[in-house]
């Protein structure tokens, strides 16, 4: 299995696996947004690209497009696909017990787990971000937090939380969505963030404030 997240992973986020050849030059992985794809499991079965896949089936209550009917089951089916090296599970689904079986299946199959939380409204206080990431890290290989920065102070709080957890030995991925937070996508890896997300085509962004893949690859390579 290729995705261990012991060093930074740049993921090309897409709903279309035929993007892989275009992503190969700059990305370390494909984040396949199953929730945004038409026939995600069929697309995974047919995938013959080189890049390993991080599969995400983002819930509609967490900013994605998937309703809960069959959502975690589809993710579970994805873990059986050879190229799927990691899956993203919402921390909320882990804490309410819904993802218990999925966690076990992923572990049994040697598939890494990213436990994620998104705040589309703002940026929680620093302490709360540390708490959320620490909680997520109990269940996952990488604890991920995406917030919405409204000020430079928000971005500093996020970077500071990232630095603290990384210094403590935790594996985290952080980013601030929105325009004010854009630069954190390039800078958070300096403070230890282990995953960056970028679309191959900037018109196909999967979150506000993303750079295109080539730009983010160059910025991170320059800074880290």
Give yes or no for residue 116 binding ligand DQA (CB under 6 A). yes
Number of residues assigned to the chain: 224
CA atoms of 140 and 115, how far apart (whole Å): 6
Is there a catalytic annotation at residue 118? yes
Catalytic residue among 144, 183, 194, 218: 144
Contacts of ligand DQA in 36-75 (CB under 6 A): 56, 58
CA distance 88 to 83: 15
Site size for ligand DQA, by CB under 6 A?
14
- SS3 breakdown of the chain: % helix, strand, coil, rounded to 5? 40, 20, 40
**Exposed / middle / buried, residue 65 (Cβ in 10 Å: 0-12, 13-18, 19+):** middle
Work out whether 34 is an interface residue with ligand DQA (CB under 6 A). no
Considering only 2-10, 90-98, 125-133, 206-214, which stretch makes contact with ligand DQA by CB under 6 A?
Answer: 206-214
| Residue of 194, 171, 173, 1 lying closest to 85 (CA atoms) | 1
Q: Could you count the other beta carbons within 10 Å of the beta carbon of residue 181?
A: 25
Q: Which stretch binds ligand DQA (CB under 6 A): 92-100, 133-141, 204-212, 215-223?
A: 204-212
Of the residues 23, 51, 129, 146, which one makes contact with ligand DQA according to CB under 6 A? 146
Q: Which is nearer to ligand DQA, 56 or 76 (CB)?
A: 56
Name residues contacting ligand DQA, limited to 10-29 (CB under 6 A).
Answer: 13
Check binding of 119 to ligand DQA (CB under 6 A). no
The catalytic residue positions are: 118, 144
């Amino acid at each position: 299995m290729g995705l261990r997240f012991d060093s930074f992973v740049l993921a090309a986020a897409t709903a279309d696996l035929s993007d892989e050849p275009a992503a190969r030059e700059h990305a370390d992985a494909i984040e396949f947004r199953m929730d945004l794809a038409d026939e995600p499991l069929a697309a995974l079965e047919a995938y013959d690209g080189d890049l390993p896949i991080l599969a995400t089936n983002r819930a509609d209550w967490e900013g994605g497009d998937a309703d809960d009917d069959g959502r975690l089951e589809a993710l579970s089916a994805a873990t059986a696909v050879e190229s799927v090296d990691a899956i993203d599970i919402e921390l909320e689904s882990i804490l309410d017990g819904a993802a218990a079986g999925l966690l076990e299946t992923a572990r049994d199959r040697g598939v890494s787990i990213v436990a994620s939380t998104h705040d589309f409204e703002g940026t929680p206080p620093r302490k709360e971000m540390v708490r959320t990431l620490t909680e997520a890290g109990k269940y996952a290989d990488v604890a991920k937090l995406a917030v919405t920065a409204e000020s430079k102070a928000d971005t500093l709080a996020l970077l500071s939380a990232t630095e603290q957890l990384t210094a403590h030995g935790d594996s985290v991925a952080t980013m601030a969505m929105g325009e004010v937070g854009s630069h954190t996508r390039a800078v958070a890896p300096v403070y230890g963030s282990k995953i960056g997300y970028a679309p191959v085509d900037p018109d196909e962004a999967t979150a506000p404030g993303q750079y295109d893949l080539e730009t983010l690859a160059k910025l991170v390579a320059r800074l880290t």
